[in-house]
Amino acid sequence: MIPFSPPRMDQLIIDEVVATLKSGWITTGPRTKLFEKKLTDYCGNKKTLCLNSATAGLELILRWFGVQEGDEVILPAYTYSATANVIMHCGAKPVFVDVNSDFNISLPAIEKAITPKTKVIMPVDFGGLPCDYEKLNALVRRPEIKALFNASTAEQTQLGRILILADAAHSLGAEIAGKKSGSLTDVSVFSFHAVKNLSTAEGGAIALNLSDGFDNEEIYTKLCIKSLHGQNKDALAKTQKGNWKYDIVEAGYKMNMTDILAAIGLVELDRYEGETLPRRREIFDIYNQGLGKYAWAELPMMENLETGKISSYHLYPLKIKNINEEQRDEIMKHIFDQDVSVNVHFIPVPMMSYYKKLGYSIHDYPETYQQYSREISLPVFFDLSTLQAEKVIQSVVDAVEKVLNFQKN
């Protein structure tokens, strides 16, 4: 069976994890701090905080910015539930909007959805392709849009506009005009979950990149406190001679990354540009060459020369032309029958029972549903061989043509 996206776990990672275990320091410590520094250097943002998940990072920033009951946060209907759930945790209202044909959030739809209650826009870099951040950054700075903004916290007053919080869970290493994801807007949040390009088993990071007079070092310190029970000293700081005494300055959370996770991340980051991204691009090229000859295949956008966008090649979201959701599901069944694992990214949040009960309906997001109903994500992982990729292609071709020919007869 060809799996969908197993993590790369080799001897280099095993050795580094073992070294971490032998070091006697397994929770948040020197490796986590080094990982944060190396991520900042790689992405070109101003400061980075590593956490136990991207979900934690998104919620932490919403909490820091003061998002609460009565506020609205705009996000795409086409995303994973975590993007919406963190808004609900804060007591605010998720305002879903439709997407473009590239799966990313629609700017005209965002503009129509902005109200005096809007505090944050959360674009999602679907599959690793960055959203249109130049236009998004310009939108929230337009005088008539800024005039709608009602600040209710010191942070909101200082920013004086809607915050852009990028769900960059898929896009580590992606670029726009030579600038890396993480440095493209106010704040970006990465995921290091097991299926991501760069995995730490579980984990995430906040890439701070605030301007407008914000001190990103100071914000990093505040977020560290929030992420560790509201404690004003972490374990590493308390190891200094005579520095044991600490205080709890707020009712914080438990969101910190451990050195065991950071050890995996350090190995993966060191070889990310030289090995991981090139191999993922090779797999995409194999799929493009093998599937591009078929009229029914709609290949994903991974680069845009006009805007300078380059994907991180996280997902290969193949779309099949002129089919419905039931046909897509039947095609997937035939692919699985050939011992190839595929997936769908994602079932849109308004289709989920919890959100349907709140009154959301997928019928309000026709482009989202149209993309979802035809999408099949193909396996992409470092150790996927060329022969395996060719088998994936053949299984897709066989399955599609079997279903389409059956429908015609």
Measure the CA–CA gap between 321 and 36, rounded to whole angstroms: 43
Give Rg (Cα) of the chain.
Answer: 22
pTM of the full predicted structure?
0.97
- What is the pLDDT, as a whole number, of residue 409? 41
**Phi (first) and psi of residue 384, to 5 degrees:** -70, 120
66 Rama class: left (phi>0) / alpha (psi -120 to 50) / beta? left
**Residue 306 — very low, low, confident or very high, per pLDDT cuts 50/70/90?**
confident
Rounded to the nearest angstrom, the gap between the alpha carbon of residue 396 and the centroid of all alpha carbons in its chain is 27
Q: What is the mean pLDDT of residues 312-317?
A: 98
The pLDDT tens digits for 184-209 are: 999 999 999 999 999 999 999 999 99
Min mean pLDDT across 24-38, 222-236, 335-349 is at 222-236
CA angle 163, 168, 174 (to 5 degrees): 120
- What is the pLDDT, as a whole number, of residue 240? 73
CB-based contacts of 104, cutoff 8 Å, min separation 6: 76, 123, 124, 125, 126, 129, 130, 131, 132
- What is the pLDDT, as a whole number, of residue 407? 54
Give the residue, 239 or 275, on which the prediction is more confident: 275
**3 state DSSP class of 205:** strand
Min mean pLDDT across 45-54, 303-312, 346-355, 387-396 is at 303-312
Rounded to the nearest angstrom, the gap between the alpha carbon of residue 73 and the centroid of all alpha carbons in its chain is 17
- Tell me the pLDDT of the chain averaged across its residues: 96
- What is the pLDDT, as a whole number, of residue 254? 96
Measure the CA–CA gap between 136 and 163, rounded to whole angstroms: 10
Percent of the chain with pLDDT over 90: 94
Q: How, if at all, do strands 309-310 and 175-176 pair?
A: antiparallel
128 Rama class: left (phi>0) / alpha (psi -120 to 50) / beta? left
For the four alpha carbons of 355, 353, 367 and 371, in that order, the dihedral sign comes to positive
Rounded to the nearest angstrom, the gap between the alpha carbon of residue 121 and the centroid of all alpha carbons in its chain is 14
CB-based contacts of 383, cutoff 8 Å, min separation 6: 6, 8
At residue 147, does pLDDT exceed 70?
yes
- What is the pLDDT, as a whole number, of residue 369? 98
**Residue 304 — very low, low, confident or very high, per pLDDT cuts 50/70/90?**
confident
Give the residue, 241 or 168, on which the prediction is more confident: 168
Q: What is the largest CA-CA distance in the chain?
A: 81
- What is the pLDDT, as a whole number, of residue 408? 52
**What does 96-110 look like in DSSP terms, one character per residue?**
EE-B-TTSSBPHHHH
**Residue 244 — very low, low, confident or very high, per pLDDT cuts 50/70/90?**
confident
At residue 238, does pLDDT exceed 90?
no
**Residue 234 — very low, low, confident or very high, per pLDDT cuts 50/70/90?**
confident
Q: Which amino acid is at 50?
A: C
Q: What is the mean pLDDT of residues 291-314?
A: 94
Six-digit token string for 400? 């599609």
Q: 188 has which bridge partners?
A: 166, 207
Edge-to-edge order in the sheet of strand 204-208? 47-51, 204-208, 187-191, 163-167, 118-121, 72-76, 93-97
Measure the CA–CA gap between 294 and 277, rounded to whole angstroms: 26
Instruction: Give yes or no for a cis peptide into 346 (omega within 30° of 0).
Output: yes
The pLDDT tens digits for 23-42 are: 989 999 999 999 999 999 99
- What is the pLDDT, as a whole number, of residue 66? 98
Domains contained in the chain, CATH given: 11-269 (3.40.640.10), 273-408 (3.90.1150.10)
